[in-house]
Amino acid sequence: MTRSITILGATGSIGASTLDLIRRNPAEWRVDTLTANRSAKDLAKLALEFGAKLAVVGDESCLPELKQALSGSAVDAAGGKQALCDAASRPVDMTVAAIVGCAGLGPVMTAVERGGTIALANKEALVSAGEVLISAATRNGATLLPTDSEHNAIFQCLAGNDLAEVSRITLTASGGPLRTWSLDKLRAATPEQAVAHPNWSMGAKISVDSATMMNKGLEFIEAHHLFPVGLDRLGIVVHPQSVIHSMVEYRDRSTLAQLGPSDMRVPIASCLAWPKRMETPLEPLDLASIGELSFFNPDEERFPATRIAREAIEAGGAAPATLNAANEIAVGAFLDGQIGFMAITAVVEETLSAYSAPAPASLDEVLAVDEEARNRASQSLESNALV
């Protein structure tokens, strides 16, 4: 039976991978709505290719360009923050939430409140608003399918088992492109070097997060909300080959691991087909060709992000939302050449030290914390600026 789908963030890497799978299985999916932030021409092209009913740009100033590109077609066009939420409220079988950053919080919450099935690829939704989001999902009967490779791997390894049977969940981290660099060399790392991930093809922001290990810190917070086994039963191990995507150890000491290519189409396919499976165009895993798998403990002296994230979730309150907002500001400043690589985590830690607030109880409170944390982080940039 053909199912309907909305993709929030259709022109990003997750959106592109999702559409690639749909393109290969056209009889199984009907694209209802596609959204993007500013890429109006690319969005229009995709909307026409897939016969979408609606295309939405988050930046309303791009709406005239979108309308022009869709002129004469049957695709409706809309723009702005509210239009993104309206798109997320449409009654479809699945919503893929792949808008990067806190811009995706409103649409994700709207989809959850509708009570639908959401393939969640927006890290910030759970990091900044984890308790609010999980509570809303429970209240509205929404189904959250984790799309991050690590959380999807855990989801597959759990396979419906009782969390009480779990002894430990281990997130794997590639370590990023700068894993073996010395502290001195890390201080001089350029944006070009930080985004050159050896295994994964990702956007600039998430690539920098991988290089600092903040990506894994954010995933640690996400895992805490998605798989509530307790912080003492969550861990991280560096696995440079990115073949094992995460592991679940049960109390009988059996450890289940999910292995696969370093390609986001694997976890996305898991979500699209759930609770079944679907084919992907990827080559079979060839362990003999890979040769060996290696594992290391995180080095939190050179890469303190995992420690900072763990301390944030332990502190509770608004700390996780503050961490996420400060990291977005710091990564943006690094990519713009304003601060050095090691200053990214310094800005985050300074912001967490300078600002605390109670745990947000609503999306509006989350956004208020996010705004204040961004202001504090922006002030911190001055003391960490390159001279």
Query: For residues 268 and 52, what is the distance between their CA atoms, to the nearest angstrom?
Result: 20
Q: What percent of the chain has pLDDT over 70?
A: 99
Residue 325 has pLDDT above 90, yes or no: yes
Q: Give per-residue pLDDT as tens, 106-161.
A: 999 999 999 999 999 988 889 999 999 999 999 999 999 999 999 999 999 999 89
Mean pLDDT of all residues belonging to the chain: 95
| Residue that has been written with the tokens 């982080």 in this structure | 377
Please tell me the predicted confidence (pLDDT) of residue 157: 97
Please tell me the predicted confidence (pLDDT) of residue 111: 96
Query: 8 forms bridges with which residues in the sheet?
Result: 35, 97
Strand 3-8's sheet: what is its strand order?
Answer: 76-79, 54-57, 29-36, 3-8, 94-97, 117-120, 143-146
Please tell me the predicted confidence (pLDDT) of residue 197: 83
| C-alpha separations of 127 from 54, 135, 211, 242 in Å | 29, 14, 19, 23
Counting every residue written for the chain, the total comes to: 387
Per-residue tokens: 258: 């999910």
Average pLDDT (66-79) is: 97
| Amino acid, single-letter form, for residue 175 | G
CA torsion sign for 367, 369, 370, 374 is positive
Residue 204 has pLDDT above 90, yes or no: no
Please tell me the predicted confidence (pLDDT) of residue 203: 78
| Amino acid, single-letter form, for residue 86 | D
Number of H helices, E strands in the chain: 17, 11
Q: Which domains does the chain have, with CATH numbers?
A: 3-146 (3.40.50.720), 148-300 (no CATH), 316-387 (1.10.1740.10)
Give the DSSP per-residue string, 156-201.
HHHTT--GGGEEEEEEEE---TTTT--HHHHHT--HHHHT--SS--
Query: For residues 165 and 246, what is the distance between their CA atoms, to the nearest angstrom?
Result: 17
Give the DSSP per-residue string, 46-92.
HHHHHT-SEEEESSGGGHHHHHHHTTTSS-EEEESHHHHHHHHTS--
Per-residue tokens: 107: 């649409």
| C-alpha separations of 335 from 3, 195, 326, 371 in Å | 39, 9, 14, 20
pTM: 0.92
Query: For residues 39 and 12, what is the distance between their CA atoms, to the nearest angstrom?
Result: 10
Residue 87 has pLDDT above 90, yes or no: yes
Classify residue 146 as left (phi > 0), alpha (psi -120 to 50) or beta: beta
**What is the DSSP secondary structure assignment for residue 241, as one 8-state letter?**
T
